[in-house]
Amino acid sequence: MAKMIPAAERILRARKLIQQARDLPAPEQWRLDLAYIAGVKDLLRQARDMVKFIPMTAGVSTEMKAEVKQVYEEIEQAGREILS
């Protein structure tokens, strides 16, 4: 059985994944490079999956829920910045 990762650790890992997506080296013609686009989207999806169940967990504070909402906004912003 997999061990539980605390919510705070999940948020940190999600932010690391967002940073990894930003740090991916973009090819010169990235709009034609499907592997680059898929890599960015996969990292952002992993970040989203890392935090998506935190708000539904019993005993999570409103501050933690607000932080998850902020992580979602960071994911969306990173997606727009990287792929536009």
Does 1 map to a domain? no
Tens digit of pLDDT for each residue in 33-57? 899 999 999 999 999 999 999 999 8
Reply yes or no on whether the pLDDT at 2 is more than 80. Answer: no
pLDDT greater at residue 58 or residue 2: 58
Query: What tokens does 63 get?
Result: 């501050």
Domain that includes residue 71, residue range: 7-82
Does 2 map to a domain? no
Reply yes or no on whether the pLDDT at 23 is more than 80. Answer: yes
- pLDDT score for 4: 85
What mean pLDDT, rounded, does the chain reach? 92
Does 77 map to a domain? yes
Specify the number of domains making up the chain.
1
Question: How far is it, in rounded angstroms, from Cα 79 to Cα 62?
Answer: 26
